[in-house]
Structure 1
């Protein structure tokens, strides 16, 4: 996946832990939790970015990461870059134990900044 070229508009990345082997439905719901939570944070704290993100089509990309350590590493880098982040912790009522971290949401934020963190990840 080539994400090195110049990009316009903000983006959001939703990063799923591959080793959990979540069902498609579970992934959809967990990514929705991350996207909504990140958007609400942006609406409160980053109004201009939120407005630009919505006006440019609210770009999102769903990617996979091998394990929790990799997910946390990306989160640390995203926070250091000043990006909005949100970790989804499952309620434990279906496929995984309560408190299991399933998805990391990053953004909305500058697409180049997000792409720099996730360019080596595969689409989910």
Structure 2
């Protein structure tokens, strides 16, 4: 069984590369913590297999929130990042969502149609 995490980040926001990387990292860590608490054996398998992560792009806040809600509806660990507003974005701006780590087939049900971030 393959286990992975997918992080969706908003491509419509004017974020520097560093800011975008930080938002992705916040999402990845947050969802990993949720998975470790909820399904420690699955989380351990993910870590031992290399902690696979895939970063994809969404085009809007609405699309990002849809990914988050779909993941939660499927019972997957999902973490939504809202920016603190200290640097480039207004406070509370939703920037990224991480789904998983969990079984790849289940994560793909939510994120499989999204394009890789380029």
Report the TM range for the smaller structure's normalisation.
Answer: over 0.9
Which residue in 2 is equivalent to 1:5? none
Question: Could you tell me how far apart the structure 2 residues matched to 1:27 and 1:71 are?
Answer: 14
Q: Secondary structure at the match of 1:86?
A: strand
Answer yes or no: is 1:83 the counterpart of 2:73.
Answer: no
1:67 lines up with 2:22 in the alignment:
no
Aligned to 1:3: none
Following superposition, the deviation at residue 46 of structure 1 comes to 1.2
TM-score (norm 2): 0.94
The C-alpha deviation readout for 1:33-91, integer Å capped at 9, x for no partner, is 11111111111121011111011110000000010111111111111111000000111
Cross-structure match for 2:26: 33
Number of the residue aligned with 1:54:
47
Quote the residue 1:4 is aligned against.
none
In the alignment, what sits opposite 2:16? 23
Distance 2:31 2:112 in 1: 20
Unaligned stretches of 5+ residues in structure 2? none
Indicate the SS of the match to 1:107: strand
Structure 1 distance, partners of 2:36, 2:69, is: 22
User: Does structure 1 residue 96 correspond to structure 2 residue 89?
Assistant: yes
Gaps of 5+ in 1: 1-7
Determine helix, strand or coil for the equivalent of 1:61.
strand
SS in structure 2 at match of 1:20: coil
